[in-house]
Amino acid sequence: MSDNNQCVIVGIAGASASGKSLIASTIYNELREKVGDHQIGVITEDCYYSDQSHLSMEERVKTNYDHPSALDHDLLCEHLQKLIKGEAVEVPEYSYSEHTRTSETTTLTPKKVIILEGILLLTDPRLRDLMHASVFMDTPLDICLLRRVKRDVEERGRTMDSVLKQYQQTVRPMFMQFIEPSKQHADIIVPRGGKNRIAIDVLKAHIAKLLKS
């Protein structure tokens, strides 16, 4: 890849509510001052949950959203490869209340830096191969649960009972089966969540180095 068409992809994985979005947005806001507002973008893995518009709401609710099969990584890989080639992509929009994609998409143009964030990114070797750097947010599960309850009730219209039931039935078991083992593939393991200033500075410095190489 030539310097003129360089695209640095950084993946940030970890448990739900571990601080992935916070550290991704912090790095985005601080790096865009250096590389330019239009040269850095963020892609959320949640946007690539599979289209379930053909299913009833009752069936959608039963989907295990913490299992790799719930995600369309084929499309995500395709989009990343296009961005690397300098092509724009249409990122799907996902509705948490409807449990499926909407009819809308967001146009993402090629960037110098793409930050990916999502719970299952490091479980897929195809995605790992496209990353220039990978991060795992190693936040204790009890803290993640408290954050998830607050977020899903306040921001996503969920009831506390439904959040706790989902956590017990799928979130924690899938974390232990898929997400936690994927930590071994991370280049950097970040403790204490998304406000870890030292980790943020290390990541920014590493990305800057990749851009110059």
Q: Is 194 part of any known ligand binding site?
A: no
Only one residue has tokens 């070797």, namely: 125
Take residue 164 and report the two structure tokens written for it: 């706790």
Collect all residues with Cβ–Cβ distance below 8 Å to 199 and sequence separation of at least 6.
23, 135, 188, 190
Q: Is 18 part of any known ligand binding site?
A: yes
Q: Is 118 part of any known ligand binding site?
A: no
How many Cα atoms sit within 13 Å of 140 on the Cβ side?
Answer: 4
Please say whether the beta carbons of 50 and 71 come within 8 A.
yes
> CA 127: distance to chain centroid?
11
Q: Is the dihedral of CA 154, 96, 27, 118 positive or negative?
A: positive
Q: Is 50 part of any known ligand binding site?
A: no
Q: Is 17 part of any known ligand binding site?
A: yes
Q: Which SS3 state, helix, strand or coil, does residue 133 take?
A: strand
Q: Is 70 part of any known ligand binding site?
A: no
CA distances from 18 to 8, 13, 70, 118 (A): 23, 9, 20, 10
Q: Residues marked as binding?
A: 14-21
User: Which residues make up each annotated binding site for ATP?
Assistant: 14-21
